[in-house]
Chains A and B, each alone.
Chain A
Amino acid sequence: MEPAIVGLGIHPFGRHPNLSGRQMAVKAVHDALASAGIQWSDVQFAFGGSVDGDQPDTLVSDLGLTGLQFVNVSNGCATGGSALSLAITMIESGTYDLGIVIGFDKHPAGAFNAKPSDYGIGDWYGETGLMLTTQFFATKIQRYLHDHNMDKAILAKVAEKAFRNGALNENAWRRKPLSFDEIENAPMISDPLTQYMFCSPGEGAVALVVARGDKARQYTDRPVFMKSVSNVTRRFGSFEVFSPWLSPERGSVPTTDAAKRAFELAGVSPSEIQVAQIQDTESGAEIMHMAETGLCEHGEQAAMINAGETEITGRLPINTDGGCLANGEPIGASGLRQIYENALQLRGDAGARQVPNDPQVGFTHVYGAPGISACTVMSR
């Protein structure tokens, strides 16, 4: 039986000037423990991720010095996905029965400013203004729209949906719906993407209690099972953030590799997915990742989105909690927010944004620098 998520905790995303990252993390952990009906002293292992918050394993001084194994995880925007995949592997290996995954962050306002030397790139790349995630996403979608002959109006449609869903999510940062025109006519950040088409670095925390599948019902009457987790790095020929050069020989992308592996391991086909959370660092990313994950064909996205198929009430609801666009991106917590949302949806606990007709199978996807992706298939 697959490992299960048996406890859920979240600290609202957004800006919280009077709270530290660790305070948000402790709140999320306490909520997750309470929802599983356990104490911190019951937890056998932890994986934690945070980039600009405190070092995760130091949380034990607030949570309790119980001697548990606690490993810090750092994998860019895929940090949450990576932490979860390690926790699932730990359960599957039989090493432990009960653990927790914690993700939190507190980023300063404005775009991320990574250091070239951390990525094996010369200082010139940052000094001359090329070391920006925003440029990568803009050039990738620019080429994608060109290759698939897609109208860029679809970018505003994706953001419009994100803010509409975010308005239904009490834990989201951006809770005000924005019109197509407001998004389309906002200041241009990097062609073809305007201000409201990008997510912002933010703050927040998520904690998830994971348990052996055959013991899951000891902790909750509604466990959600992790049918698969995958975690890959890029292969030659993909187009990644912070690339001074690309090969003219185009190859498979990490999102495609990770999704394919997750579907294969789960024995589930993309057409069986009833709710999906996919990395929407900007609205173009949602469009490209829809096809890269195999949830649709390349070039098919505009028709699907225009027909409402990715809405909460559609055939394939995507980013039902508002995604990164409405929640912002506290890196450590972001991937775990997707798991949290899918768990709510599969348990039928998503309230005003609940996907109708009792969804049974969900999918999550994160993508991060410098070219990694983690995916999951989840079921009731």
Chain B
Amino acid sequence: MNGTPIDDTLFTWPDESPQLIGARCTNCGTVTFPQQSSCPKCAGTELSRHLLAREGVIWSWTIQGFRPKEPYIGPAEFTPYGVAYVDLGDVIVEGRLTEGDPSKLAIGMPVELEIVPFETEQAGTNWLTYAFSPTGPAPDQGGVA
């Protein structure tokens, strides 16, 4: 996929198996996303680059039902999109979902990281961002999705 990450600190790119880039505190093990230079838990200042798991489960979710005002730069013609907090094991990360149908989303649903085009009205841009894509039903969902 061609394009430029909307922020080059967020994920490894280009990469056949891209990962989100976090930071891990060398003192207490707290993992942040994106990277931070100090730790909000222990106030330590030694953090190392830490690549996050590609797969996780939905910790919570919602649908963005109206077009956000600026600084949002998405297309003028609005399509509702899913937003989730995804539990990746050592950190819970917020991101867009590739699924925007609320009947197909549930807490506990397994998802994986995808790098996706992010459309805007700006001519000549070809942004990429990260999103999470459902890979199966939630454990208590009995095969929906």
- A contacts, CB < 8 Å to B: 110-111, 113, 115-116, 122-124, 126-132, 134-135, 138-140, 142-143, 146, 187-192, 236, 243-248
Contact of B69 among A110, A127, A140, A189 (CB under 8 A): A110
Question: Is B66 a contact partner of A130 (Cβ separation < 8 A)?
Answer: no
A114 to nearest B CB, angstroms?
Answer: 9
On chain A, the residues within 8 Å of B66 by CB distance are 111, 189
- B contacts, CB < 8 Å to A: 6-7, 9-10, 22, 30-34, 40-41, 59-66, 68-74, 81, 83-85, 87, 89-96, 102, 107, 118, 129
Contacts A143-B107, A245-B92; is A189 near B73 (CB within 8 Å)?
Answer: no
Question: Is A243 a contact partner of B94 (Cβ separation < 8 A)?
Answer: yes
Contact of B6 among A127, A131, A142, A247 (CB under 8 A): A127
On chain B, the residues within 8 Å of A115 by CB distance are 71
- The answer for the CA separation of A188 and B22 in the assembled complex, in Å, is 33
Who on chain A is nearest to B87 by CB? Answer: A248
Question: Is A143 a contact partner of B72 (Cβ separation < 8 A)?
Answer: no
Question: Is A116 a contact partner of B71 (Cβ separation < 8 A)?
Answer: yes
Contact of A245 among B32, B41, B65, B72 (CB under 8 A): B32
- The answer for the CA separation of A139 and B92 in the assembled complex, in Å, is 13
A128 to nearest B CB, angstroms?
Answer: 5
B80 to nearest A CB, angstroms?
Answer: 9
Contact of B71 among A127, A135, A188 (CB under 8 A): A127
Question: Is A248 a contact partner of B90 (Cβ separation < 8 A)?
Answer: yes
Question: Is A143 a contact partner of B6 (Cβ separation < 8 A)?
Answer: no
Question: Is A247 a contact partner of B85 (Cβ separation < 8 A)?
Answer: no
Question: Is B72 a contact partner of A127 (Cβ separation < 8 A)?
Answer: yes
Question: Is A123 a contact partner of B87 (Cβ separation < 8 A)?
Answer: no
Contact of B65 among A124, A130, A187, A246 (CB under 8 A): A187
Question: Is A132 a contact partner of B68 (Cβ separation < 8 A)?
Answer: yes
Q: 17 pairs across A/B with beta carbons < 8 Å? A: A113-B68, A124-B129, A126-B71, A127-B72, A129-B64, A129-B68, A131-B72, A139-B60, A139-B61, A139-B84, A143-B60, A146-B60, A188-B102, A189-B65, A243-B94, A246-B59, A247-B41
Question: Is A190 a contact partner of B63 (Cβ separation < 8 A)?
Answer: yes
A116, A124, A246, most chain B CB atoms within 10 A: A124
A251 to nearest B CB, angstroms?
Answer: 9
- The answer for the CA separation of A260 and B143 in the assembled complex, in Å, is 44
Question: Is B72 a contact partner of A129 (Cβ separation < 8 A)?
Answer: yes
B58 to nearest A CB, angstroms?
Answer: 10
Contacts A139-B85, A248-B87, A248-B90; is A128 near B96 (CB within 8 Å)?
Answer: yes
Question: Is B81 a contact partner of A245 (Cβ separation < 8 A)?
Answer: no
Given A129-B64, A146-B60, 16 more pairs with CB closer than 8 A: A111-B69, A113-B68, A123-B71, A126-B71, A128-B73, A129-B68, A129-B96, A131-B72, A187-B65, A188-B63, A189-B65, A190-B63, A190-B65, A236-B30, A245-B22, A246-B94
Who on chain A is nearest to B82 by CB? Answer: A191
Question: Is B59 a contact partner of A143 (Cβ separation < 8 A)?
Answer: yes
Question: Is B33 a contact partner of A245 (Cβ separation < 8 A)?
Answer: yes
- The answer for the CA separation of A139 and B20 in the assembled complex, in Å, is 21
- The answer for the CA separation of A123 and B41 in the assembled complex, in Å, is 24
A281 to nearest B CB, angstroms?
Answer: 15
Question: Is B7 a contact partner of A122 (Cβ separation < 8 A)?
Answer: yes
Who on chain A is nearest to B30 by CB? Answer: A247
On chain B, the residues within 8 Å of A146 by CB distance are 60, 107
A229 to nearest B CB, angstroms?
Answer: 26
Question: Is A142 a contact partner of B7 (Cβ separation < 8 A)?
Answer: no
Contacts A115-B71, A128-B96, A142-B60; is A122 near B34 (CB within 8 Å)?
Answer: yes
On chain B, the residues within 8 Å of A110 by CB distance are 69
